[in-house]
């Protein structure tokens, strides 16, 4: 097969058109009013929405080291099912991705599997110990575009300053997990009325916000590109808005679960809802929604974090933090923003594809749906009700916080450079 016709599609949810893909070259060949019925393969897309393939700046695929919970292959399957054509997998594996050969191995394995471009994130400090910087220059020459100790915060201000200076010199992004560990020791839930009522150790907003403020000032003074992982508080939004108004090169992400869920979910003490940073209060979720709408927060990133049942089906305090996200994120964003009319599909494309690719300077991901652009695409049926169940996920794990929740938007097809990586009809 050399050509594929996607007839009767609505790019960005707008006017119906027809798209011809040159599969051999992996690009969009033509867009026109007349169906391409003479293509090698013709698909009637039923007027469904076509978007650029999604890009996730923040996932945990667990390989190497915890292949019992996720692998590059199963994570790629989950990504394709969720509409993603590129993901960035964090460095907190075993061993930690702190050497060029480890980063190169992750990239090569993802390319060999071929379902999704899996970009390795390099650690900021060796072994995630927060003591000595990794070889940021060498790793950047191996193709690493982003560095993060995610799972841990770079608490040492002097080490963070040096990281910012090195990252600037090599034009790579530093992604910070903002958490002052001195304020969160033993904490498992947002510090508020709910945690107090349930007898859970509280996690204050200031633990996040103090690091955000410090790092914004450092980025102002020493330059570079700084990205905030999983923003979770109203105060963080205010700090980001201040930083951007000052012209500081700061970007930020929000997770689907911090947009949709609050600490009210903790009533059952279910370990599925243990996450870092914790689920906050309704006013935090509302502030994050508005910040995403007005651009103060730039992107949606899943923080996809698979865990086995032995790590989740335990006392809440002992549950490992993290939730699945790749297969539900588009449905969550649709439910929060598109269904109530707060935003359109172009907004979805911006925060889940175009802006992440722009921040990470990807040349063939997050591109507009135009002739000559890479055929990295996702087809979405906005009126196809389905219910989230962990045991039906493509991920190796099943720890979804949306168990039993019904969504209306479903990914029905994903293409990576013209090759279909997910087909709902065959799933």
Q: Classify burial at 405, counting beta carbons within 10 Å of its beta carbon; exposed 0-12, middle 13-18, buried 19 or more.
A: middle
258 is in an annotated binding site: no
d(CA 104, CA 290): 38
Domains of the chain: 3-49+372-423 (2.30.40.10), 53-359 (3.20.20.140)
Residue 376, helix vs strand vs coil: coil
Which of these, 221, 218, 200, 151, lies nearest to 179 by C-alpha position? Answer: 151
* pTM exceeds 0.85: yes
Give me the pLDDT at residue 356, please: 98
Q: Is 303 a catalytic residue?
A: yes
Which of these, 266, 405, 409, lies nearest to 334 by C-alpha position? Answer: 409
Kindly list the distances between the CA atom of residue 272 and the CA atoms of 35, 268, 360, in Å, as whole numbers in the listed order: 47, 10, 31
Task: Give the dihedral sign, CA 264/270/273/276.
Answer: positive
- CB-based contacts of 171: which residues, under 8 Å, 6+ apart? 140, 225
If one counts every other C-beta atom within 10 angstroms of the C-beta of residue 212, the result is: 25
100 is in an annotated binding site: no
Give me the pLDDT at residue 71, please: 98
d(CA 97, CA 126): 9
d(CA 34, CA 19): 9
DSSP-assigned letter for residue 125:
B
190 is in an annotated binding site: no
- CB-based contacts of 18: which residues, under 8 Å, 6+ apart? 5, 6, 7, 8, 9, 31, 32, 33, 34, 35, 36
307 is in an annotated binding site: yes
192 is in an annotated binding site: no
Give me the pLDDT at residue 1, please: 67
Structure tokens that stand for 344 in this block: 């359109």
Residue of 98, 149, 303, 311 with catalytic role: 303
Structure tokens that stand for 353 in this block: 């594809």
User: Is-contact 47 78, C-beta < 8 A?
Assistant: no
Q: Does the bond joining 64 to the residue before it have cis omega, within 30 degrees of 0?
A: yes
CB burial of 101-135 (b: ≥16 within 10 Å; e: otherwise) equals ebbebbbebbeebebbbbbbbbbbbeebebeebbe
Give me the pLDDT at residue 238, please: 98
Give me the pLDDT at residue 427, please: 79
d(CA 81, CA 424): 8
Q: pLDDT in tens for each of the 427 residues of the chain? A: 699 999 999 999 999 999 999 999 999 999 999 999 999 999 999 999 999 999 999 999 999 999 999 999 999 999 999 999 999 999 999 999 999 999 999 999 999 999 999 999 999 999 999 999 999 999 999 999 999 999 999 999 999 999 999 999 999 999 999 999 999 999 999 999 999 999 999 999 999 999 999 999 999 999 999 999 999 999 999 999 999 999 999 999 999 999 999 999 999 999 999 999 999 999 999 999 999 999 999 999 999 999 999 999 999 999 999 999 999 999 999 999 999 999 999 999 999 999 999 999 999 999 999 999 999 999 999 999 999 999 999 999 999 999 999 999 999 999 999 999 999 998 7
């Amino acid at each position: 097969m050399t050509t594929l016709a996607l007839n009767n599609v609505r790019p960005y949810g707008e006017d119906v058109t027809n798209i011809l893909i040159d599969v051999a070259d992996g690009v969009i060949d033509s867009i026109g009013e007349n169906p391409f019925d003479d293509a090698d393969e013709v698909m009637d897309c039923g007027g469904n929405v076509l978007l650029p393939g999604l890009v996730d700046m923040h996932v945990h695929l667990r390989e190497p080291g915890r292949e019992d919970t996720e692998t590059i292959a199963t994570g790629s399957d989950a990504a394709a099912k969720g509409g993603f054509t590129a993901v960035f997998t964090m460095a907190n594996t075993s061993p930690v991705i702190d050497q060029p050969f480890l980063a190169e191995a992750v990239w090569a394995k993802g390319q060999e599997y071929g379902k999704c471009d899996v970009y390795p994130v390099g650690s900021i400090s060796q072994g995630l110990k927060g003591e000595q910087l990794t070889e940021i220059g060498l790793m950047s020459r191996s193709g690493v575009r982003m560095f993060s100790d995610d799972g841990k915060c770079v608490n040492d201000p002097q080490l963070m300053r040096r990281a910012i200076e090195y990252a600037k010199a090599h034009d790579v992004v530093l992604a910070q997990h903002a958490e002052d560990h001195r304020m969160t020791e033993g904490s498992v839930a947002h510090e508020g009325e709910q945690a107090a009522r349930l007898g859970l150790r509280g996690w204050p907003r200031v633990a996040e916000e103090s690091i955000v403020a410090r790092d914004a000032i450092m980025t102002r003074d020493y330059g570079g590109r700084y990205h905030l992982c999983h923003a979770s508080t109203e105060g963080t939004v205010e700090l980001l808005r201040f930083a951007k108004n000052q012209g500081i090169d700061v970007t930020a992400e929000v997770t689907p679960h911090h947009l949709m869920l609050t600490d009210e979910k903790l009533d059952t003490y279910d370990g599925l809802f243990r996450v870092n940073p914790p689920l906050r209060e309704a006013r935090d979720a509302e502030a994050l929604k508005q910040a995403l709408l007005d651009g103060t927060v730039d992107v949606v990133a899943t923080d996809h974090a698979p865990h086995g049942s032995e790590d989740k089906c335990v006392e809440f305090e002992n549950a490992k933090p993290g939730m699945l996200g790749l297969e539900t994120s588009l449905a969550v964003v649709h439910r929060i923003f598109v269904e109530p009319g707060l935003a359109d599909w172009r907004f979805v494309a911006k925060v889940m594809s175009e802006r992440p690719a722009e921040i990470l300077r990807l040349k063939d991901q997050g591109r507009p749906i135009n002739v000559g652009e890479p055929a990295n695409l996702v087809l979405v049926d906005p009126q196809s009700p389905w219910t989230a169940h962990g045991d039906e996920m493509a991920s190796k794990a099943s720890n979804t916080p949306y168990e039993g929740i019904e969504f209306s938007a479903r990914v029905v097809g994903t293409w990576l450079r013209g090759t279909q990586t997910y087909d709902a009809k065959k799933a």
